[in-house]
């Protein structure tokens, strides 16, 4: 067990900042990285490409 929560968070931040471990979300229609999450009518959170308007979940 980590000595402190800061030690554990430090490991997570290091992993997130490593380029190989970061997954970037992109529009499947246009491959644009301009993606937003918008609350849906059914309580889900679909993704919307702000460049072309394509939405998916």
Helix (H) or strand (E) holding 34: none
Question: Mean pLDDT throughout 9-26?
Answer: 64
Q: Give domain status of residue 8, yes or no.
A: no
pLDDT of residue 39: 83
Q: Give domain status of residue 10, yes or no.
A: no
Q: What tens digit of pLDDT does each residue of 30-47 get?
A: 888 888 888 878 878 888
9, with CB counted inside 10 A (0-12, 13-18, 19+), is exposed
Tally the domains of the chain.
1
Q: Give domain status of residue 44, yes or no.
A: yes
Q: Give domain status of residue 37, yes or no.
A: yes
pLDDT of residue 21: 44
Question: Mean pLDDT throughout 22-31?
Answer: 79
Q: Give domain status of residue 4, yes or no.
A: no
Can you give the pTM of this predicted structure?
Answer: 0.52
Q: Give domain status of residue 46, yes or no.
A: yes
Range of the domain at 53: 25-57
């Amino acid at each position: 067990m980590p000595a402190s929560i800061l030690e554990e968070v430090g490991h997570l931040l290091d992993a997130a900042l490593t380029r190989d471990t970061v997954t970037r979300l992109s529009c499947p229609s246009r491959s644009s990285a301009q993606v937003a999450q918008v609350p849906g009518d059914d309580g889900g959170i679909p993704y919307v490409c702000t460049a072309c308007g394509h939405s998916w979940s």
